[in-house]
Amino acid sequence: MGTVYAALTDSGQRVAVKVVQPLQAVDPEFRARFRREVRLCARVQGPFLLPLLAADPDAETPWLATEYARGLTLAQHLAAHGPLADAALYAFATGTAQALAAIHAAGVVHRDVKPQNVLLTPAGPRVLDFGIAHAADGTSVTRTGLLTGTPGWISPEHYRDGVTAAEGDLFAWGALVAYAATGRLPFGSGAAEAVAWRVMSGQPDLEGIAEALREVLEQALAKDPAERPEAADAAEACARLLAAESTQVLDGHNTGEAGWDPAAIGTLITAQWSVPVPEDVPWPHPASAPAKSFRRRAAVAVLVAAAVGGATVGGALTLRRGNAHRTDGPTSATSVVSSGTAASGATSSQPGSAAPGTHAAGQKASDPRGIPVPADPLAGVANAAFTRADDETQPVPGEWSASRDAADAAERDAAAAIRDQVAAMLATKDMSFMALTVTFNRQAQTVMVTGGPISTLTDDYKEVFRRAGEMAACVTQAHRLKDTPTSWPYGRFSVYWKDYDGQDEASLLGFGKATNGCYTEEAGQRQGTEEGIVTAQIPSSDKDEIRLAASTVKAVEAAWNTRVAEGHGLDPFDRDDAITLGFDPVEKIMYVWVFDGEGALAGRAQQAHFQDVVSKTACPKLLAEYNSNRQWDYTRWAIAAYQGNSAWPQLFTSGNCLPTSRS
């Protein structure tokens, strides 16, 4: 949706300002949703929240400002200081439940309760970003049919039926408190599909949690939403546990059958709350500092397109959130102004030398895009230096910490190639700030790609980093194994994330082998994937991608409307902005996806017609760019549809604009 800045009012008050992107600002539908978001935010008042201070949804560049609070997110605190315990844990559980009670009392559902959206401030926990919620009457501020939330923090009923209600917030709250108590994700990690299965069918990991709190969390984590407590009841239950840790007398504030006085609970939480907080860095006031334009920085960059669902080409259409309030310091000190906008951050495409395709007509044979990646680089090699080609074991603890920097020219060249490839992929999504290191473990015959530490980075960014790191390491090693099989000893790769400097063992994001092929293929043809479409839905910052996407969407829409009018038994889509597209820089595929609420593409014949329209309309544009721009590496496409109210896209075909003999 835009960018969130750390900012100062004219009086010097610290605030967080969410500034809408210009492309969104000119969309009337977006403005209507943004006004609704502002109205929802204004409804919510209560303790342990960050209130809306000001907004102007009708400004040329719409914006809203919330109170700024200093502190670590729960995720940051756990990484740096470990789990909460005793009174601090009960205070956290009580405060967050009371915040949800205030949100629900205003007729709002949060819909994204997770560790990145809770701050541990000096005055207690603060629940953030309830502005992405929707009114409890069911009128959504997001697109129909989209899964809203973060895997592992989504309720079973939302996975099954797309239902978002207050009971879903309580489920996420139960998982949040369990995570705070143990430092372990209650439903584990891994692929989104695996986490979803555990949420719907498995039991949460509550080992080690005190029995009394565990009972409250088990109720909150019930699969049946009807069995979960209300937020106010959960807050009262946790307050009683907190009171047992306290010598403070609350009887005078107890209102008996009606429950405890929220003010008394707030006093108790404040009295028992004690957590480390980051150093308070002074913010220069505009009066004493030279005037500066806003400059974007990773610590405050956010992607919240799904929060208010902008219908822009290549826009993020599933929830991908950053956090305005998780700054390591101010990005820019300036007055809050309605006309402030983010720097574009747009970059040109990077050379695709390590993401090979096949050259089209007119391309020289020396074009690096025409160099195929070996799918079986050690085929026929008798004495390969890499000996773990058939080893399916996963990385073991200690491999990362035992790795070292490149030791010779070959390793240095490989490390540079991996860094360049990852940088090229990330640049198209405005993620160039995600620096990485490449290290080697000769004993494990593994190349390690490590990102971080960036304390405010959200899981969606890490997922793109994982995919880019795996692809770059795989491609680089596949070529090395093919060219120098008897001397290059590496063939495995692992991607890690470092949460803080000095970490003994980084978190494993993904791993694989270059001997298994680097792309998802069937019968030698590259296929679209769910991971790819998720990456493609992140807004592009590449000027060529933006230009091609805009013109291609218009052309596909016009061609489809013409095909429908020709009388092939086809139905028009039920919305004007049903078709959109985006680019996955990792597997080099353009994704076209459709919001098909009425089932216009439900049958194979209809899908075949749409495939024909896409290939005949998009391919000339892609190939023209491919032949004129050596930095352009998209000739493949995939098509998906969100059918009915489904939260997951159905991928039903993939293809290549190049002739079959060249693909």
Angle, CA of 14, 19 and 22, to the nearest 5°: 160
- What's the CA gap between 120 and 88, in Å, rounded? 10
Q: Which residue has the tokens 């574009």?
A: 344
d(CA 603, CA 600): 8
Q: Which of 112, 367, 459, 544 is catalytic?
A: 112
Helix, strand, or coil here: 38? helix
Q: Which amino acid is at 71?
A: G
Ramachandran class of 398: left when φ > 0, alpha when ψ lies in -120 to 50, beta otherwise: left
Q: How far is Cα 529 from Cα 502, in angstroms, rounded to an integer?
A: 36
CA distance 569 to 496: 51
Q: What span, in angstroms and rounded, lies between the C-alpha atoms of 317 and 321?
A: 11
DSSP string, 509-566: EEEEEGGG-SS-EETTEE---HHHHHHHTSPP-BHHHHHHHHHHHHHHHHHHHHHHHT
Active site residue 584: no
Q: What is the dihedral of CA 26, 31, 37, 40, to 10 degrees?
A: 160
Question: What is the rounded distance in angstroms from the CA atom of residue 472 to the CA atom of residue 485?
Answer: 19
How far is the C-alpha of 420 from the C-alpha of 353, rounded, in Å? Answer: 10
d(CA 62, CA 185): 37
Of 167, 30, 72, the residue nearest 110 (C-alpha): 167
Which residues are within 8 A (CB) of 36 and not within 5 positions of it... i.e. 6 or more apart? 141, 308
Q: How many CB atoms lie within 10 A of CB 159?
A: 20
> String of b and e for 69-82 (b: at least 16 CB within 10 Å)?
bbbbbbbbbbbeee
Q: State the Cα–Cα distance between residues 73 and 113, nearest whole angstrom.
A: 12
Contact 278, 72 (CB under 8 A): yes
Helices and strands of the chain, counted as H and E runs: 16, 19
HEC-encoded secondary structure of 107-126: CEECCCCCHHHEEEECCEEE
Cα separation of 587 and 417, whole Å? Answer: 17
Report, as residue numbers or ranges, the catalytic residues. 112
